[in-house]
């Protein structure tokens, strides 16, 4: 049984005014600078009360064709047991696997996702907190609540508030990007997915800053981002200014016609090693700072078997890339993707296969379903001397 955050709190020493003991500084529980340092603590989302997202252009434009036909029929209804049950079973297996590998797992609080909510201009029902990777971004000791573009995700971070409060009390920095209004002006009414050869276009405008955390990956002082149907230029610029000169954000050009989330496009697996999607990324367009990095080309995904799995996946076929690194060698990946398992072995990683296909109906796989809170490591630069930030020590 999955325990909610409030039932899973780490005991923190409380200093009382009468205490004669000298307070010892405790290490911050939030510390994660990249995608590969040894993972110590992670939030894994849950799918309790998961609700089919309210139909909206931002939701439909990113779904595979079959799902885009199927989901609007059930908009605002709870996910049926036929989808939720196997997904929950797999989620529990994934949690057991992580705990068996020595990782502390934290679970968000229950939320009434099916309840309708409104702003003065629009209303929606919620979605799920299956994918903490989207709504929260951890950079070092800071957790940032992101301004997400989907209306159905407006209050999603509330599921994490008791965890966020706990981390804050223990010394983490906690911030939130400006709450977006998500008015009609943010959305491009005329949007149609670009056809081959047509220029990029996005369903969101630049009306206000929006981004999902899953459009960013972290490599120490460098973050990489893809612009997408949920992340606009203003959102990237907000984060750039917020993080300041200690960090640099570089865009990765994606040729995905309906991009959403970098973690099926460009996935750093270890210092100097990045997994790329050969359909979305052109190696010659990678930023020059990556020239000394080893580019690992993801193998063609193995086909999904099972009608319901096929029509209910909200994600593209490259979900085989959505892996979670436990350290520079151990990588949790889908057990039904033998091509990726073999490729990881060939590259010298230690793949840890896990059954997780049913989670695709809730928005992703292992990287999406998690948020690394603490990885053992320090802030570093992983790029060559010329690529260092001007103020950085050699
Ligand atoms: N949230 C990751 C899924 C992105 C994709 O459909 O490729």
Is 368 annotated in the active site? yes
* Burial grade of 359 (CB within 10 A; 0-12, 13-18, 19 or more): buried
pLDDT of the residue at 62: 87
pLDDT of the residue at 70: 87
Distance CA 309, CA 304 (A): 7
What would the two tokens of residue 191 be? 């949007």
Has residue 42 been placed in a domain? yes
**Distances from the Cα of 40 to the Cα of 91, 98, 119, angstroms:** 18, 10, 38
392 pLDDT exceeds 60?
Answer: no
- Average pLDDT of span 33-59: 97
Query: What's the angle, vertex CA 128, arms to CA 123 and CA 134, rounded to 5?
Result: 95
What would the two tokens of residue 216 be? 């960013």
**Which residue has better confidence, 3 or 64?**
64
Share of the chain above pLDDT 90, in %: 86
Has residue 268 been placed in a domain? yes
What is the number of alpha carbons within 13 Å of residue 158 lying toward its C-beta?
12
Has residue 300 been placed in a domain? yes
Which numbered atom of ligand 1 lies nearest the CA of 134? 1
Range of the domain at 62: 29-375
Per-residue pLDDT tens over the stretch 125-157: 999 999 999 999 999 999 999 999 999 999 999
Q: What is the CATH number of the domain that holds 111?
A: 3.75.10.10
What would the two tokens of residue 369 be? 């379903």
Active-site hit among 33, 46, 56, 261: 261
- 367 in contact with ligand 1, CB cutoff 6 A: no
Has residue 15 been placed in a domain? no
- 374 in contact with ligand 1, CB cutoff 6 A: no
Q: Ligand 1 mean position to 263 CA, how many Å? A: 7
Q: Which of 319, 321, 360, 368 to mutate to test the pocket of ligand 1 (most atoms within 8 A of CB)?
A: 319
8 pLDDT exceeds 90?
Answer: no
Has residue 324 been placed in a domain? yes
- 360 in contact with ligand 1, CB cutoff 6 A: no
Distance CA 324, CA 201 (A): 30
pLDDT of the residue at 22: 56
Per-residue pLDDT tens over the stretch 54-89: 999 999 998 998 898 889 999 999 999 999 999 999
* Confidence tier at 385 by pLDDT (50, 70, 90): low
- 261 in contact with ligand 1, CB cutoff 6 A: yes
pLDDT of the residue at 25: 66
197 pLDDT exceeds 50?
Answer: yes
pLDDT of the residue at 199: 87
Share of the chain above pLDDT 70, in %: 91
Active-site hit among 56, 315, 368, 372: 368
Is 359 annotated in the active site? no
Per-residue pLDDT tens over the stretch 293-333: 999 999 999 999 999 999 999 999 999 999 999 999 999 99
- Average pLDDT of span 163-169: 98
Alpha helices in the chain (DSSP H): 57-60, 65-70, 81-100, 132-135, 161-169, 233-243, 307-312, 338-346
- 371 in contact with ligand 1, CB cutoff 6 A: no
Has residue 394 been placed in a domain? no
pLDDT of the residue at 24: 60
Most distant CA atoms of the chain, gap in Å: 71
Distance CA 218, CA 235 (A): 16
Per-residue pLDDT tens over the stretch 340-378: 999 999 999 999 999 999 999 999 999 999 999 999 999
Give the pairing of strands 324-325 and 330-334: antiparallel
Mean predicted lDDT score pLDDT of the chain: 92
- Residue whose Cα lies nearest atom 7 of ligand 1: it is 316
Which one, of 229, 157, 227, 145, lies nearest residue 193 by Cα?
229
pLDDT of the residue at 17: 38
Q: Name the domain count of the chain.
A: 1
Q: 18-32, 99-113, 276-290, 355-369: which has the minimum mean pLDDT? A: 18-32
Is 189 annotated in the active site? no
Strand partners, 123: 118
* Burial grade of 190 (CB within 10 A; 0-12, 13-18, 19 or more): exposed
User: What totals of helices (H) and strands (E) does the chain contain, helices first?
Assistant: 8, 17
Q: 19-28, 189-198, 205-214, 327-336: which has the minimum mean pLDDT? A: 19-28
Has residue 252 been placed in a domain? yes
State residue 143 phi and psi, 5-degree precision: -115, 125
């Amino acid at each position: 049984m999955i325990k909610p955050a409030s039932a899973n709190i780490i005991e923190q020493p409380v200093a009382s005014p009468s205490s004669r003991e000298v307070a010892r500084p405790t290490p911050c529980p939030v510390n994660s600078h990249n995608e590969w340092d040894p993972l110590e603590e992670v939030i894994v989302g849950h799918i309790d009360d998961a609700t089919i997202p309210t139909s909206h252009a931002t939701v439909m434009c990113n779904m595979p064709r079959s799902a885009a036909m199927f989901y609007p029929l059930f908009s605002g209804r709870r996910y049926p047991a036929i989808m939720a049950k196997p997904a929950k079973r797999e989620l529990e297996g994934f949690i057991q696997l992580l705990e068996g590998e020595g990782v502390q797992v934290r679970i968000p609080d229950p939320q009434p996702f099916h309840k309708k909510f409104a702003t003065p201009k629009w209303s929606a029902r919620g979605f799920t907190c299956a994918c903490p990777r989207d709504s929260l971004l951890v950079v070092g000791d800071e957790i940032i609540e992101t301004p997400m573009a989907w209306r159905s995700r407006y209050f999603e971070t509330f599921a994490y508030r008791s965890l966020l409060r706990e981390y804050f009390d223990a010394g983490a920095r906690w911030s939130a990007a400006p709450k977006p209004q998500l008015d009609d002006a943010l959305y491009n009414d005329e949007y149609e997915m670009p056809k081959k050869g047509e220029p990029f276009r996005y369903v969101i405008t630049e009306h206000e800053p929006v981004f999902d955390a899953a459009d960013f990956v972290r490599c120490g002082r460098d973050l990489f981002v893809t612009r997408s149907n949920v992340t606009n230029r203003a959102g990237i610029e907000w984060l750039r200014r917020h993080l300041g000169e200690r960090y640099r954000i570089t865009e990765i050009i994606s040729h995905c016609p309906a991009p959403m989330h970098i973690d099926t496009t460009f996935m750093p697996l270890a210092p100097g090693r990045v997994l790329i999607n050969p359909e979305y990324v052109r190696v010659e367009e990678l930023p020059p700072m990556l020239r000394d990095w080893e580019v690992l080309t993801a193998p063609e995904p193995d086909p999904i078997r099972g009608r319901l799995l096929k029509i209910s996946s909200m994600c593209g076929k490259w979900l085989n890339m959505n892996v979670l690194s436990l350290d520079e060698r151990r990588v949790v990946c889908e057990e039904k993707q033998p091509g990726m398992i073999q490729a990881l072995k060939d590259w010298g990683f230690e793949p840890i296969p896990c059954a997780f296909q049913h989670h695709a109906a809730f928005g992703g796989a292992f990287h999406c379903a998690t948020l690394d809170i603490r990885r053992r490591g320090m802030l570093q630069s992983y790029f060559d001397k010329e690529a260092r930030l001007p103020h950085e020590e050699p």
